Amino acid sequence: MENEQITRAKALQAINDNVSERATSVIVERLIGKLIHHPTEFLIGTLERLERNELRQVLISHNIRHGVCAECDTIILARYNVDGVGQVCNECFNAKYSDFVQCDDCGFYFNENDEMQHVSDSNRDDSRVCDGCYDDYFYCDGCGYTIHRDEQSEDSQLCDECYHNRDDDSMPHPMHDWNYVPEYRYMGLNARKYGIELEVKSANDSELISDIHEDSDNLLYCKYDSSICGGAEIVSHPCDYNYHTKHMEWDKLMQKLINFGCTSHDAKTCGLHIHVNRDSFGASEHVQDFQIAKVLYIVNVFSGEMQRFARRSDYRWNDWCGNVSANFTKTETSETLIDKKRYADRNGARYSMVNLQNCRTIEFRIFRGTLKYSTFLASLQFTRLICEVAENISVNDLNALTWDTLKERATDIELINYIESRGL
């Protein structure tokens, strides 16, 4: 390091050249000691103001970059740049900001609750960048990586490598087949991710489909769905709750769909399906089974309320999202819950309130489709509430759970208002 190369003699000479005549030899020696033995940081808070000013003169005379901690006013060389705070010293960083996440581009540290985006560096290794730096990246339609715009081919949505290797057959089509599975992009820092499938009628307009891809930075894609005559399924990549609500702009998408004449709720055959990753319920399969069993308990014991919440008729409810094949009682134990969950795994159907047929996710198939953003948001919040309650409730409290005590746990205003509007 630059400051480590300063010898004791040079430091002494620099101080003698720059400090005022009031500086004593003791102060000089203390300054030299800090410069030599603590080259990366200077803790000067207890020294006199005179000494502090003189130290800065030494640093300036040797062109050594330094700053002042925004928290304790300490002169520092090595520093952490904390978003919204400024430069802080090592001690203050460890005391207040150790859980912050560093942007791999600008080097600033951000609150762990802030959104960091996953991108690919020049070697296609995973990196995390802040929202500001993320503006310099784009999603390549060819390889599926989010790459810095320096590597973007001019006038295309392809990286240089994909552009030069392209052929007409490999170019992506805006409407994918029903069984299409992309290379998933996982957005948001929370371990629990939600994959949205919104079925929409009259959404096969090529301009609209292209807009859906582009407006979402390709975090949404469209698939054919045989259950919807003249429609499509709009599918999201897995995102955590904060990312869905703060970055995906579902409200603008739904307004655009309405402007194009699309329908979802009124189409009657459309649904809103929400996938939740299994590994967000625990590290081991046994823990996951136990927590998911409690999810199944909740949706089955309160299936009547679920149907009213979902705005489903009896016919549509039984046809598309019936009860899972396990009967739950108010006298469950940990063992019986897991047994019934595993029974549902073996004997359950895809068209259940909670579909267990996917190896990596459970799928909430409860909700009727909607283009009303407040209803969409309440549905997502209700899914999150069920998962969080299941994750944190004991078996005894689960057996004693009532609909009233369940809805009292809701804190999101959109969910609370929706429950009241449905007379629940």
pLDDT of res. 44:
40
Residue 103 has pLDDT above 70, yes or no: yes
pLDDT of res. 201:
84
317 versus 16: which is more confidently predicted?
A: 317
The confidence band for 226, taking pLDDT boundaries of 50, 70 and 90, is: low
pLDDT tens digits along 236-259: 999 999 999 999 999 999 999 999
Domain range list for the chain? 3-76, 117-172, 194-421
Q: How large is the average pLDDT for residues 63-87?
A: 74
pLDDT of res. 343:
84
Specify the pTM. Answer: 0.61
Residue 407 has pLDDT above 70, yes or no: yes
Contacts 24+ apart (CB under 8 A), 211-217: 211/256, 212/253, 213/174, 215/249, 215/252, 215/253, 215/256, 216/248, 216/249, 216/253, 217/138, 217/139
pLDDT tens digits along 27-58: 444 554 555 444 444 434 333 333 556 666 66
Residue 402 has pLDDT above 50, yes or no: yes
337 versus 178: which is more confidently predicted?
A: 337
Q: How large is the average pLDDT for residues 185-203?
A: 91
pLDDT of res. 151:
85
pLDDT of res. 11:
47
Residue 120 has pLDDT above 60, yes or no: yes
pLDDT of res. 42:
41
What percentage of residues in the chain have a pLDDT greater than 90? Answer: 36
The confidence band for 130, taking pLDDT boundaries of 50, 70 and 90, is: confident
108 versus 163: which is more confidently predicted?
A: 108
| Residue 244 · residue 221 · CB < 8 Å | no
The confidence band for 142, taking pLDDT boundaries of 50, 70 and 90, is: low
> Cα–Cα–Cα angle for 144, 149, 150, nearest 5°?
120
pLDDT of res. 19:
41
| Residue 342 · residue 289 · CB < 8 Å | yes
76 versus 202: which is more confidently predicted?
A: 202
